[in-house]
Amino acid sequence: MPSSHPLPPPCHWFSVLASALDPRSASRLAWLFVGAILARGRRTVTSWIRAAGLSGEYRPCYTTVAAAGTRTDRIAARLAHEVVKPLVANSDRLTFAIDDTPTERYGRQVQGAGVHHNPTPGPAGGPFVYGHVWVVLGLLVVHPAWGVVALPLRARLYVRRKNLPGIAPKHRPAFRTKLSSRIVPAPASRSGPPGPVTQVMSRAVGFIPPGARFIPAAREAGRWRVLPPRLPAG
């Protein structure tokens, strides 16, 4: 007996993001996004391939990931304008957070990895961490059960100047400080956000859109704390 309840509309978000690639690779990238969500253990491309059931397409999957790596700005634009923007269309003000986030990596042959200060040392209390540092732009939203959460929209890998020689010249990026990573793109031909913008950041990283309100903040143990305004001298 057929159910009288209507079926929920299918989710095409992964297909929208994957459309930044050639149609021959787009469907494979959409399935790799599914694999990234379902993967267990170490979050490597190999685990994505297994979780997505694409073990028979091992080499084409790596080719697809490499192609996506050259089109991250296009994928991020689709994420912001075609996936996130409809969700916040009725918001009076959008609040973004910008921060540099370290991720641990192991092995001296990991490209772009280095020793960085650890802002959240945890129980071990280690002041340094070996791995990558990502300058991340996130949209702050309020979840009914979890409180304020950040939805990551865009990330730039920060590589210390001393670690650049360890990257092959073919793949070596130009050195950029965290302040010049330009994680927030300048306004382009696409329409802007549906409302006023507030940026919360631990330091002035990148471009601040015209009309945006800047709020300095500090991140302590994974939580954001807005800093009090500076008092005038004297």
Residue 6, pLDDT score: 53
Q: Which parts of 88-177 fold into alpha helices (H)?
A: none
Q: Which two tokens stand for residue 108?
A: 């001296």
d(CA 76, CA 85): 12
pLDDT at 106 over 70: yes
How far apart, in whole angstroms, are the C-alpha atoms of residue 28 and residue 59? 12
DSSP state of 232: P
The SS3 call for residue 131 is strand
Residue 49 pLDDT class (50, 70, 90 cuts): very high
Kindly report, residue by residue over 113-125, the tens digit of the pLDDT: 888 888 777 777 7
Greatest mean pLDDT among 95-99, 155-159, 180-184: 155-159
Q: What is the DSSP string of 28-58?
A: HHHHHHHHHHH--SS--HHHHHHHTT-GGGH
Distance in angstroms (rounded) separating the CA atoms of residues 70 and 169? 16
Biggest alpha carbon–alpha carbon distance for the chain = 79
What pairs with residue 131 in β-bridges?
Answer: 104, 114
Q: Confidence band (pLDDT; 50, 70, 90) for 207?
A: very low
- pTM greater than 0.85: no
First to last CA, the chain: 79
Cβ–Cβ under 8 Å, residues 59 and 16: no
Give yes or no for a contact between 36 and 49, defined as CB atoms under 8 angstroms apart: no
Q: Are the C-beta atoms of 199 and 94 separated by less than 8 Å?
A: no
Q: Where are the domains of the chain?
A: 10-70, 90-226
Strands 114-117 and 94-104: unpaired
